[in-house]
């Protein structure tokens, strides 16, 4: 354990924790966008900045990737932090003007509009990388990647074509904090897409009990390969999540999502 000061309060913390983890454990709210506890921190949105001093050189640090050390002093709400955070919110809002989650988070921090909005920048993606990382590190599908550099950096698929690796699970759409990746089930077909690319397109398998289209064959095969016997049996029975719940079988979707 180490001793540190968090917002003027002396606390003890485990030395392998990040400032963000320690703050959350102590009930202090730090805004985040690219952080998800199931994934390795990425440190790109910068919203989680804090001001440090004491054992570390005085300055601004990214709390989701900075570990605590003995004698550290942290201020999560200093004037400098708040000013920089407001600026970052403006930049993110310019990238993602229609994201309700971002609009609400920005408003909570006193930012209601952006000076930097540009008409052609509204793909709503803030380049947080959650979709790319979850697809690679949790699903193991590698269907998504980043392409291009700087301002033109974007989430896409190999060669910007329909991905042969996508399994149609929709985890990317679920984890995306801005709704930039969408998933639509219509007339027995599932489409997963961004503003500029169709990531995956699948005919859906129908539930053996109620007949509702509910999952792609690739996804069901993935569940069968990566789950215990009970889950595999549930896939064999071909039950949608609702019927699986009703019959007391395993809720496939619930089990596989984060």
**Which residues of the chain form contacts with ligand SF4 (CB under 6 A)?**
125-131, 155, 176-178, 180-181
Distances (CA, A) of 221 to 105, 154, 165: 38, 30, 13
Stretch binding ligand FES (CB under 6 A), from 43-51, 139-147, 157-165, 245-253:
43-51
Chain centroid, CA 154 distance in Å: 15
Q: Does 45 bind ligand FES (CB under 6 A)?
A: yes
Give the shortest CB-30-to-ligand FES separation in angstroms: 8
* 98 within 8 A of 122, measured Cβ to Cβ: yes
In whole angstroms, the minimum distance from the beta carbon of 125 to ligand SF4 comes to: 3
| From the list ligand FES, ligand SF4, none, partner contacted by residue 180 (C-beta under 5 to 8 A by kind) | ligand SF4
Tokens representing 233 are 């049996």
Among 2, 19, 22, 34, binds ligand FES (CB under 6 A): 34
By the rule CB under 6 A, 39 interacts with ligand FES: no
Q: Nearest 5°: phi and psi at 219?
A: -70, -45
Query: What's the closest the beta carbon of residue 94 comes to ligand FES, in angstroms?
Result: 17
Binding partner of residue 204 among ligand SF4, ligand FES, none, CB under 5 to 8 Å per kind?
A: none
Nearest in space to 166 (alpha carbons), one of 199, 215, 207: 199
Please give the structure tokens belonging to residue 75.
Answer: 């201020």
Among 7, 11, 17, 44, binds ligand FES (CB under 6 A): 44
**Is residue 244 within the footprint of ligand FES (CB under 6 A)?**
no
Question: Both tokens of residue 78?
Answer: 């200093």
Question: Could you tell me the smallest distance in angstroms from the CB atom of residue 73 to ligand FES?
Answer: 19
List of residues 6+ apart from 213 with CB closer than 8 A:
185, 188, 189, 204, 205, 206, 207
CB of residue 88 to ligand SF4, shortest distance in Å:
15
Question: Is the CB of 111 or the CB of 197 nearer to ligand SF4?
Answer: 197
Q: What angle do CA 257, 172, 200 make, to 5 degrees?
A: 115
Candidates 4, 13, 23, 48; binder of ligand FES (CB under 6 A) is 48
Question: Nearest distance from residue 131's CB to ligand SF4, in Å?
Answer: 3
SS3 content of the chain, % helix, strand, coil (to 5): 35, 20, 45
Extract the tokens encoding 58.
Answer: 């005085």
Q: Closer CB to ligand SF4, residue 128 or residue 231?
A: 128
Question: Are 70 and 56 in contact, with CB atoms under 8 Å apart?
Answer: no
What is the size of the binding site for ligand FES (CB under 6 A)?
12
CA distance 51 to 213: 51
State the residues that interact with ligand FES by CB under 6 A.
32-35, 43-48, 62, 64
């Amino acid at each position: 354990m180490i001793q540190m000061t968090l917002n003027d309060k002396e606390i003890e913390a485990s030395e392998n924790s990040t400032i963000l983890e320690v703050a959350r454990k102590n009930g202090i709210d730090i805004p985040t966008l690219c952080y998800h506890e199931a994934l390795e921190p990425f440190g790109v949105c910068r919203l989680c900045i804090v001001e440090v001093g004491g054992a570390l050189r005085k300055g601004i640090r990214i709390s989701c990737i900075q570990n605590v050390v003995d004698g550290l002093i942290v201020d999560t709400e200093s004037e400098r932090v708040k000013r920089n955070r407001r600026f970052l919110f403006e930049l993110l809002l310019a990238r993602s003007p229609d994201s309700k989650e971002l609009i609400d988070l920005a408003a909570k921090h006193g930012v209601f509009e952006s000076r930097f909005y540009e008409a052609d920048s509204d793909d709503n993606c803030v380049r947080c990388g959650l979709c790319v990382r979850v697809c690679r590190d949790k699903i193991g599908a590698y269907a998504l990647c980043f392409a291009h550099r700087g301002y033109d950096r974007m989430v896409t698929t190999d060669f910007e074509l329909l991905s042969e690796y996508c399994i149609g699970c929709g985890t990317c759409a679920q984890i995306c904090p801005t709704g930039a990746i969408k998933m639509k089930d219509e007339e027995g077909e599932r489409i997963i897409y961004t503003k500029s690319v169709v990531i995956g397109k699948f005919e859906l398998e129908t539930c053996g009990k109620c007949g509702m289209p509910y999952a792609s064959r690739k996804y069901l095969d993935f569940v069968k390969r990566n789950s215990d016997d009970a889950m595999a049996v549930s896939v064999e029975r071909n039950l949608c999540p609702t019927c699986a719940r009703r019959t007391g079988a395993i809720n496939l979707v619930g089990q596989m999502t984060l």
